[in-house]
Amino acid sequence: MRSLQSALAKILLIGSAGFLAVDARGAEFIVKASTVTEMKAVYGQVESRSVLPARARISGTVASVRVSEGSQVGKGDVIATVVDDKLALQLRAADAKIAALNSQLDSARTDLQRAQDLLAKGAAAQSRVDAAKTQFDVVTNQLAAAMAEKAVIEQSAKEGDVLAPADGRVLTVPVAAGSVIMAGEPLARVASGQYYLRLSLPERHAVEITEGARVDIGERGTGTNAGFVKAGEGQVAKVYPEIENGRVIADVEVADIGTYFVNERTLVSIPVAKRTVLGVPPEALRIVHGIDYVTVETADGALEVAVVLGATFQDAGHPRVEILSGLADGDKVVLP
């Protein structure tokens, strides 16, 4: 009985050992060539879609400036106030002229009424009534012209307020209170519209850059020495047809670019080419004394092959490690 139990134990041990050996060998992975997109890390410069100047509409002295660099403004907000002292004098002169014409109008109205009364009594000729009527019309028109001139002066005084041309952020304020400024000169520059990234790449990449291509945006403040750290994605919106100084220019739209400074540079990874590579799953690699090995199934059995590794990439959603040398297309790699 004891010998039977011992025999059964040996059979179970042999069976389990065989099962472990098959499990340790695992499945096979057929090495196949894959096409991957080669990315290039370049610097993109943040720019505003439009930069509008807030210009003075009248000449005069800057009385006050209500914004500074970096201020957020809305369309129609008062940025500064320009005062022209001559406008106050012109306004007083217009008021005096209107008062004088009002007196002349009252006198002409009285003369016209008197002439009409005398004509009704037969004591005056029709010509006198016509003359009085003409004088009344002349003074009425002069008064209307004087009031229109006053309205122009009042409108000029109102135009002393310099308004923001659009919603955005103030970039520069080149004037200060007390400065003398002419009509049409800018008092501030406002960056309006969505920010975007402008890229400048070598001419050899011009053919590979296409509109609609996905672009990886690096983390703000990182450089090439620190390595590329992806923080977001963008899309190539426009590729300019003219090459300047051996560089091709492209614009990248970013949905939420954040609070970047205008003209700030940030790292961008953009697709520039495609190449064919061989890759294996990371679990197929084994490191022995600092050398990477892959187990390959051959006609003579399993063989350990030393390989040189490249970059990692994604193949149909699965991670792969690029094999620069040591394997060929169609090789059967044994997974653990």
Q: What is Dmax (Cα atoms) for the chain?
A: 164
Distances (CA, A) of 87 to 78, 92, 197, 330: 20, 9, 46, 89
Report which DSSP code applies to 301.
Answer: E
CA-CA distance, 301 to 297, in Å (whole number)? 6
Dihedral angle, C-alpha 99, 100, 102, 105, nearest 10 °: 180
Per-residue pLDDT of 245-254, as tens digits, reads: 888 899 998 8
CA-CA distance, 115 to 67, in Å (whole number)? 64
Q: Which ranges of 248-304 does DSSP label H, i.e. alpha helix?
A: none
3-state secondary structure of 163: strand
Per-residue pLDDT of 129-171, as tens digits, reads: 889 999 999 999 999 999 999 999 888 888 889 999 998 889 8
CA-CA distance, 298 to 281, in Å (whole number)? 19
3-state secondary structure of 183: coil
Mean pLDDT, rounded, of the chain: 83
- Beta carbons within 8 Å of 159's beta carbon, 6+ residues apart: 57, 58
Q: What percent of the chain has pLDDT over 90?
A: 29
Walk across the sheet containing 180-181 and list its strands: 161-163, 78-83, 60-65, 180-181
CA-CA distance, 50 to 68, in Å (whole number)? 19
13 strand-pairing partners: none
- Beta carbons within 8 Å of 182's beta carbon, 6+ residues apart: 56, 59
Average pLDDT over residues 287-314: 88
Distance from CA of residue 170 to its chain's centroid? 15
pLDDT band of 80, cuts 50, 70, 90? very high
Per-residue pLDDT of 180-237, as tens digits, reads: 999 999 999 998 877 888 998 888 888 888 888 888 888 776 655 556 777 788 889 8
The per-residue pLDDT for 3 is 45
Q: In terms of pLDDT, which residue wins out, 16 or 123?
A: 123
Per-residue pLDDT of 92-123, as tens digits, reads: 999 999 999 999 999 999 988 988 888 888 88
CA-CA distance, 188 to 81, in Å (whole number)? 12
Separate counts of helices (H) and strands (E) for the chain: 3, 19
The per-residue pLDDT for 221 is 67
- Beta carbons within 8 Å of 26's beta carbon, 6+ residues apart: 334, 335, 336
Pairing of strands 161-163, 78-83: antiparallel
CA-CA distance, 25 to 336, in Å (whole number)? 5
Q: Are 284 and 319 in contact (CB under 8 A)?
A: no
- CB-count burial class (<10 Å; 0-12, 13-18, 19+) for 208: middle
**Token pair belonging to 143:** 């008064």
Place of tokens 């399993």: 302
Q: Which of 78, 82, 75 is nearest to 52 (CA)?
A: 75
| Domains annotated on the chain, with CATH | 25-36+277-334 (2.40.420.20), 39-49+193-273 (2.40.30.170), 54-83+160-190 (2.40.50.100), 85-157 (1.10.287)
CA-CA distance, 21 to 336, in Å (whole number)? 11
